[in-house]
Structure 1
Amino acid sequence: MASGSPPPAAGVLGPCAACKVLRRRCTDKCMLAPYFPPTDLRTFTNAHRVFGAGNITKLLQEIPQWQRQDAASSMAYEANARMRDPVYGCTGVVFQLQNQVSELQAQLARAQAAIANLHAENANLSALICERMSQALQETTAVTVDGTAPTPYVFQNDSFFLDGSSVPGYIREPPLRT
């Protein structure tokens, strides 16, 4: 495509959108045909109203062939944005998107702060639970004056079970199965 000629208009059955709007005969060398197909009259109509057909053609002639499709797409986008918002055009869209990004960044910062707070609370609760368990273990394994260790735990087979007889007010119930 470095030859400088526009890409062939694939499947063009009639005049391009530019030639239809301008009511002229579309030739094989039509500068606008590759960028404004006959099926999309509105795109060229908006671009023509905003920029003018002569300015579009002049701009496309002044830039390298490989940039023309992007330039035509950009002009079409700007023209459509200008038709929707005559005052700001695509600048209004950019401003709106920047505001949306700022709002989302603030929302993300709030969510990250909430997550950090939850992690801190979780760490504090974990430390508190460990401290309480350690205190409870120290209290249950404390040696009394006579040298015996009062413990509500009965150790069997490397596991421990709560022996209710050492708990005040404990009433032993008969087993469910005999």
Structure 2
Amino acid sequence: MEKSEPNTAAATTAVSPCAACKILRRRCRENCELGPYFPPTEPLKFTIAHRIFGASNIIKLLQDLPKSQREDAVNSMVYEASARIRDPIYGCAGSIFQLQRQINDLQGELAKAQAEILKMQCQQANLMTLICKELAQMPQPPMYDHQSLNDNYNIASPQSYHSSSYLFEDSNILEPLWT
């Protein structure tokens, strides 16, 4: 039995055409300029860019750029094209203008909030100053030492409790409370 060599055409797998070639209905070559940037899984990406820029302009632009910058250029074209579809007059500039307006509005709100915080801090400081002034103007209660209180009210000191007979006139009270 002789071994036959496999057919080279049958051995190669069928490669799906890139999204650009599929939409343009042309044969996708092995070294297709658009293939790496418009994979077959993302046909909408090419459709959007093609609608605004056209296939020949996209190819010319990519050929003029170094390979390291082509991916970013395709992403920029798709972004600009989708912005042009949403806003045909201003495109990306309209989006940028809208975002700048939002930034300005938010900065204004932030400035108002910071001013309100500063106002409240000043009010708090003024309130604390008023409270301190009121406390300083209030009469202070007199400070008594313990000896003068004992003398004025005839309060016996703890040492005199044992020797004072007037506290315990009944001798039965001195009995222990437990049995």
- TM-score, normalised on structure 2? 0.69
* Structure with the higher strand share, 1 or 2: 1
Work out whether 1:38 is the aligned partner of 2:40.
yes
Shift of 1:153: 7.2
**Any idea what the Cα deviations from partners look like across 1:84-111, whole Å, max 9, x if unmatched?**
1111111111111011001000000000
One-letter amino acid matched to 1:78:
E
One-letter amino acid matched to 2:37:
Y
Shift of 1:13: 4.7
Tell me: CA distance 1:24–1:125, structure 2 relative to 1, closer, same or farther (3 Å): same
Max Rg structure: 2
Shift of 1:30: 0.8
Instruction: Give distance in 2, aligned partners of 1:96 and 1:63.
Output: 31
Quote the RMSD (CA, aligned, Å): 1.9
Identity among equivalent pairs (%): 55
Instruction: Give distance in 1, aligned partners of 2:29 and 2:51.
Output: 23
For this pair of structures, how many residues does the alignment match?
133
Q: 2:58 aligns with which of 56, 59, 79?
A: 56
Equivalent position SS for 1:25: coil
The 5 A counterparts of 1:68-87 are: 68-87=70-89
Shift of 1:155: 8.0
1:26 aligned partner? 28
Q: 1:130 aligns with which of 107, 127, 132?
A: 132
5+ residue gaps, structure 1: 1-11, 141-150, 157-178
**Any idea what the Cα deviations from partners look like across 1:37-90, whole Å, max 9, x if unmatched?**
112212211111111111111111111111111100000000111111111111
Equivalent position SS for 1:71: helix
